[in-house]
């Protein structure tokens, strides 16, 4: 028994060598491939922002669009991204009118280029401005 203990004792006297010999790494199982993942893109909510008959201030957005669905009418501006906005404060009036387009405009060419020789009707956003005051003083009375 003494002989066995004397032979084993030199192995266990240095515990650093015993644990330093084997290193264990973290492992991960292989994952399967996924298809048709949900992209979680938030919607843009394009379309009418102000209904017919509502009152708006200057600079208010009336409609947003990707294609030329709505056209600017009286006192309405057209933004670079197709946004229609009010130029003056007033009441919104939406009408359906026969188009009289500027065929050199890039948006018109892209959206209505194939309809150049045809008559068609589109929605127009118009702003009827608020009435101005009628309180005036003559220069002679001042």
51-107 tens-digit pLDDT: 999 999 999 999 999 999 999 999 999 999 999 999 999 999 999 999 999 999 999
- Does the residue 140 lie in any domain? no
- The pLDDT confidence band at residue 24, using thresholds 50, 70 and 90, is confident
The number of folded domains in the chain is 1
For the CA atoms of 29, 32, 34, 35, the dihedral, rounded to the nearest 10 degrees, stands at 170
- Does the residue 3 lie in any domain? no
- Does the residue 102 lie in any domain? yes
Q: What does the DSSP 8-state code read for residue 114?
A: G
> pLDDT tens digits, residue range 98-132?
999 999 999 999 999 899 889 999 999 999 999 98
3-state SS, 84-108, equals: EEECCCEEEEEEEEECCCCCCCHHH
- Does the residue 118 lie in any domain? yes
- Does the residue 124 lie in any domain? yes
How far apart, in Å, do the first and last CA atoms of the chain sit?
A: 130
- The pTM of the full predicted model, rounded to 2 decimals, is 0.66
- Does the residue 73 lie in any domain? yes
- Does 19 have pLDDT greater than 70? no
Helices (H), 1-142: 2-12, 15-20, 106-112
- The phi-psi region of residue 90 (left if phi > 0; otherwise alpha if psi is between -120 and 50; otherwise beta) is left
Determine the pLDDT at residue 37: 74
CA 138 from centre of chain: 52
Which CATH number belongs to the domain containing residue 96 in this structure? 2.40.50.100
List the domain range (segments joined by +) for residue 117.
47-128
Determine the pLDDT at residue 28: 74
- Does the residue 122 lie in any domain? yes
Identify the weakest region by mean pLDDT among 24-28, 63-67, 118-122, 137-141. 24-28
Identify the weakest region by mean pLDDT among 22-26, 68-72, 76-80, 135-139. 22-26
Q: What is the CA radius of gyration of the chain?
A: 38
- Does the residue 21 lie in any domain? no
Contact 33, 62 (CB under 8 A): no
- The pLDDT confidence band at residue 137, using thresholds 50, 70 and 90, is confident
Determine the pLDDT at residue 5: 56
Q: What is the CA angle 100-102-103, rounded to 5?
A: 110
């Amino acid at each position: 028994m003494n002989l066995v203990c004397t032979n084993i004792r030199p192995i266990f006297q240095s515990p650093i060598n015993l644990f330093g010999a084997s290193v264990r790494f973290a492992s991960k199982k292989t994952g399967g491939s996924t298809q048709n993942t949900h992209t979680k893109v938030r919607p843009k909510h394009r379309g009418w922002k102000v209904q017919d008959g509502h009152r708006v201030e200057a600079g208010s957005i009336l409609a947003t669009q990707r294609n030329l669905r709505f056209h600017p009418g009286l006192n309405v501006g057209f933004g670079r991204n197709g946004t229609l906005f009010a130029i003056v404060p007033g009441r919104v009036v939406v009408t359906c009118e026969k188009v009289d387009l500027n065929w050199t405009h890039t948006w018109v060419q892209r959206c209505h280029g194939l309809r150049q020789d045809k008559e068609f009707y589109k929605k127009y956003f118009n702003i009827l401005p608020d009435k101005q005051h009628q309180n005036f003083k003559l220069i002679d009375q001042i």
